[in-house]
Every structure is written in C-alpha cells, then in structure tokens.
Amino acid sequence: MIDLVILAIVQGIAEFLPISSSGHLVIIGAMLGELSESPTLEIILHAGTLGSILVVFWRKILRLLTEDRRVVGLLVVGTIPAATIGVGIKLLLPELLRSPALAAAMLIITGCMLIGLGRIREHAGTYQQVSWFGALIVGCFQAFAILPGISRSGSTILGGRLMGLKSDDSVTFSFLLAIPAILGATVLTLKDLWEASQAGEPIGHTPVELLIGATISFLVGIVALRWLIGWSRADRLHWFAAWCLPAGIATLWLCS
C-alpha cells in the first residue's frame, strides 16, 4: 500500500508539471517493483488526474459544449496522432515503454524542450482560434509523449506555443486535449479489469486499492495543475529543465 501511495503522489504531481509522469512512474516503479507488474495501475492513476482536469477546467469544458463547439472538432483532430501512432507503439513495443533507460534518455529530451519553450516569445492566439492543421501538430506532440520520459504537458504546451497560442491558452488546449486520450485509455482499462474479474484472473490490486490510488492522484493533481497554470503565466515552465536534465542523466548512469 505504501508503494501505491508513493506512485499516486508521483502521478498527481508529474502528470501536470512538465516532468513526465510516465517517465517517473517507470523509473520509480522499477525501483519499487510495482509498475513493472501492474501496468493497469498506471492507467487508473491517470484516471485520477483526469478528474483533476475536469475540476479545474469545468467552466471551459462547459463552454465547449455550449459555445465553442468548433473546439470539440479540434480536439478530435488533435487526438488522432496519439490514437494511431501511440496505440501502435504500445501494442508492438510494450516492453520498450517500460524501460527505465529509455525514460531517462527521454527526460533529457524533455529538459531540452523546456529550455526551448523558455526561448519562445509570447503570442496572442487563443485556443478557440487554433487552425485544424495547428490542432494536428499539437496532437503529434502529444503522440510523441507516448514515450516514457517525454512530458505530455510540456510537449503539447510547446506545440501550442509554436502554433501561436499565448501561454494560458496553450495550457488550456493542452489539458483539454488530454481528456479524450486519458478517458479512452481509462475506458479500455476498466473493460479489461471487468473481463479479468469475471474470468477470475488476478489484477494485481484490489478495487479498493485502485480507488485509493486514483483519489490520491486526483487530489494531488488539482494542486499540481494550479501550480502549473501559475508558473506558466509567470513564464517559468523552463525552470523544470533543472529537474529533468539531472534526473535523466543520473538515471542513465545508474542504468549503465
């Protein structure tokens, strides 16, 4: 249970701060012997952080359903790369995605991306004004984050800024784009859990443990997401490179 709590806290923090939750879960999970045995746990913890997005952005989500319906189409287009390339990678190379060495190398790349993010001048575009091509490009940045160690938030925020979005709106579009991706993965996992339970197969954790993990990642995620929004407005996201670069280098050294 202690291992589960640690992983849930890490997920809640790293899902939103641009330091890669998947990379940290792979590395810390390898140390704890947890995630290497239970990939289901990773998805359930992501479901908890999905709840954080819904809580923090509920007004903008409501606006999507009532006023900004064009943005819904943009989110569909932006989800296509992750739903095709990402799923293909997960099906063909599942072991590669659980490699601490790969996660460490990708953390270094994330650090470099954050340094680049800090050098982009502020633009004035809003997420409602994103072009269809721009949504697809940001979606490609999200698909790249299938690799452990590549921050989904950092990558998509960088993509949004490159497409001309201002800081706040690049953050908003990034996390609106996360909703269909995380929701789809969660639904598939719940389906697998149900089928496994009906077949009497072990699922690694009890439903109560999974619920506790999701709740912790949800609560921690709300705090981390508000932190990210504040630091984005202050143009400080590139500061997180100071964590990603040494963490990646240290992990590579330990893996060698």
Mean of pLDDT values over 151-177: 94
Q: Would you state the pLDDT for residue 36?
A: 44
Q: Which segment of 32-41, 132-141, 203-212 scores lowest on mean pLDDT?
A: 32-41
The DSSP-derived string for the chain is -HHHHHHHHHHHHHTTTTT-HHHHHHHHHHHHT-TTT-HHHHHHHHHHHHHHHHHHTHHHHHHHHHT-HHHHHHHHHHHHHIIIIIHHHHHH-TTGGG-HHHHHHHHHHHHHHHHHHTTSPP--B-GGG--HHHHHHHHHHHHHTTSTTS-HHHHHHHHHHHTTB-HHHHHHHHHHHHHHHHHHHHHHHHHHHHHHHHTT---SS-HHHHHHHHHHHHHHHHHHHHHHHHHHHTT-GGGGHHHHHHHHHHHHHHH-
User: What's the pLDDT score for residue 34?
Assistant: 53
49-106 pLDDT, tens digit per residue, is 999 999 999 998 888 878 888 999 999 999 999 888 877 777 777 777 788 999 999 9
